[in-house]
């Protein structure tokens, strides 16, 4: 009996820019605002040395005490998040006050307030650092503030499509590109020429369905052309011989023609857990595994008798 409005569509690039996540929780706003153009060059080393300075406006949270602000700082410093600190600015009834007033004038803070469109009662939370890391860190803080301010109502549902993921991602360790989804995902037709010039900017014909900040389904349009698949393998570091050895069956099949095709797979367990207001999909799975990988309902894995081993031509001794 839940009626959802028309499902919003959001580009992957916009999701990362505004929420720092490819599965944003859109039950509440609190979008990212970048501050590089108004905070650099003021003598504050943390900002001057950062690739990105970005923040969120926690509306109505200016009343937070120093203890609460310290708790938020400790939260972002957790090992799982890895931030080095947190800057704040309050917009109180008596004006603007920040944790870095030593470096910024009232006029500077007024520019911050203008960028965030603050009102009395708002609290700005700002982080700085390497761009990709700081976006992910601020995303975690945004979700934490959403929870603290009661904005993540379990009875509310906000769905969206996230579209046009990057086709490739660079791996520093192997020093080559890897498929972000899988090597059979087709690129956007208009981006194909960039495979030769700027492969990291090529967008994939891939999409995710997101509900309340959780990916509940994902899919893509597949490559159906031998030439394009060969080009994809080339940019993934496969030689012609390696591609033929591992995927020759597919390349040969393309010689007979393949229609454009694609699809999507939904995580039914995850969807059920969201509708039930549960935090873990284990609570809706018929046979959940424990931390040791055992299914205690059917006692699996368990010993196999000799007859079964013989049927499968398996030996346990060497």
Distant-in-sequence, close-in-space partners of 84: CB < 8 Å, separation ≥ 6: 77, 129
Tell whether 199 and 104 lie within a shared domain. Answer: no
Residue 173: the pLDDT is 86
Distant-in-sequence, close-in-space partners of 158: CB < 8 Å, separation ≥ 6: 25, 26, 27, 211, 212
Question: Could you give the number of structural domains in the chain?
Answer: 2
Tell whether 54 and 140 lie within a shared domain. Answer: yes
Band (171; pLDDT cuts 50, 70, 90)? confident
Residue 286: the pLDDT is 81
Residue 318: the pLDDT is 65
What backbone phi and psi angles, to 5 degrees, belong to 67? -60, -45
Band (145; pLDDT cuts 50, 70, 90)? very high
Q: What is the mean pLDDT of the chain?
A: 93
Band (291; pLDDT cuts 50, 70, 90)? confident
What confidence tens digit (pLDDT) does each residue in 19-34 have? 999 999 999 999 999 9
Question: Once rounded to an integer, what is the mean pLDDT over residues 125-148?
Answer: 97
Has residue 283 been placed in a domain? no
What confidence tens digit (pLDDT) does each residue in 63-95 have? 999 999 999 999 999 999 999 999 999 999 999
Tell whether 146 and 193 lie within a shared domain. Answer: no
Whether pTM > 0.95 for this model: the answer is no
Has residue 188 been placed in a domain? yes
Has residue 244 been placed in a domain? yes
Has residue 21 been placed in a domain? no
Tell whether 113 and 195 lie within a shared domain. Answer: no
Has residue 284 been placed in a domain? no
Residues facing 203 on adjacent strands: 166
- Here the CATH number for the domain that contains residue 101 is 3.30.1360.30
Q: Which domain holds residue 173?
A: 165-204+223-260
Has residue 83 been placed in a domain? yes
């Amino acid at each position: 009996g839940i009626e959802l409005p028309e499902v919003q569509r959001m580009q992957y690039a916009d999701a990362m820019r505004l929420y720092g996540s490819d599965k944003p929780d859109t039950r509440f706003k609190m979008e990212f605002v970048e501050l590089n153009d108004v905070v650099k060059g003021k003598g504050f080393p943390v900002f001057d040395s950062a690739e990105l300075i970005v923040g969120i406006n926690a509306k109505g949270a200016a009343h937070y005490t120093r203890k609460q602000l310290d708790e938020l700082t400790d939260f972002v410093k957790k090992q799982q998040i890895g931030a080095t600190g947190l800057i704040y600015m309050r917009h109180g009834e008596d004006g603007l006050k920040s944790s870095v007033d030593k470096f910024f004038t009232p006029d500077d803070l007024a520019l911050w307030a203008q960028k965030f469109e603050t009102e009395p009662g708002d609290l700005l939370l700002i982080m700085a650092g390497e761009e990709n890391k700081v976006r992910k860190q601020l995303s975690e803080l945004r979700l934490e503030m959403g929870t603290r301010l009661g904005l993540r109502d379990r009875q509310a549902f906000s769905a969206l499509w996230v579209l046009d993921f990057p086709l490739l991602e660079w791996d520093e360790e192997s020093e080559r590109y890897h498929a972000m989804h899988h090597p059979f995902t087709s690129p956007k037709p208009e981006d194909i020429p960039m495979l030769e010039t700027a492969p990291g900017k090529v967008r994939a014909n891939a999409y995710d369905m997101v509900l309340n900040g959780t990916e509940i389904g994902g899919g893509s349009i597949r490559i159906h052309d031998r030439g394009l698949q060969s080009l994809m393998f080339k940019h993934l570091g496969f030689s012609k011989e390696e591609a033929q050895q591992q995927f020759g069956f597919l390349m040969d099949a393309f010689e007979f023609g393949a229609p454009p095709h694609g699809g999507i797979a939904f995580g039914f367990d995850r969807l059920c857990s969201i509708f039930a207001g549960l935090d873990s999909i284990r609570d809706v799975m018929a046979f959940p595994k424990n931390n040791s990988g055992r299914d205690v309902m059917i006692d699996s894995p368990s010993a196999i008798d000799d007859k079964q081993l013989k049927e499968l031509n398996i030996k346990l001794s060497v």
